[in-house]
Structure 1
Amino acid sequence: MILFAAVMVSALAVVNTSFKSRTVFYELQKLRAESNELDVQRGQLLIEQSTFGLEGRIEQKAMEELEMTLPDWSRIIMVRHD
């Protein structure tokens, strides 16, 4: 009788450990997928950053998409901060 109880407790422990292992593995897979997505997003942002870093690119975007124009030099006021 004691041997049967010990076997049952051991079997339940194996089932519990197996369940926890699968749960942790599933969580690991989700985190790896999220990490891959973030790596792709980071790569896209780095490309975008380097594109906007090109000389005149920000000015070009401002003129094309926001319809901004350069003001006349007479309207520009220089401000100094001491």
Structure 2
Amino acid sequence: MRNFSFIIVAISILFSAAVSAQPVNINTAGPEVLAEAINGVGPARAEAIVAYREQHGPFKSVEDLREIKGIGPVLLESNRDKLLVTSD
């Protein structure tokens, strides 16, 4: 039984790593997904990203995130590979 529990935990960790490895579309993701996917972005800043998107329309590039207070070049560069912009 102990080995079974270990296997379940290991599979869960591997699955969550695989899911989080997928880039996040900043034009469609909700605040929960954004906060989870972007290192250095918590719930409040994720809400600010969504509010900015709703007010100004879809992001044209990942660089547009720099318009949001608290998102600077260092945060953006450290997360660039996790972010995606599409118009879908």
The TM-score normalised by the length of structure 2 is 0.37
| CA radius of gyration, larger in | 1
The TM-score normalised by the length of structure 1 is 0.39
Which of the pair is proportionally richer in strand? 2
Which of the pair is proportionally richer in helix? 1
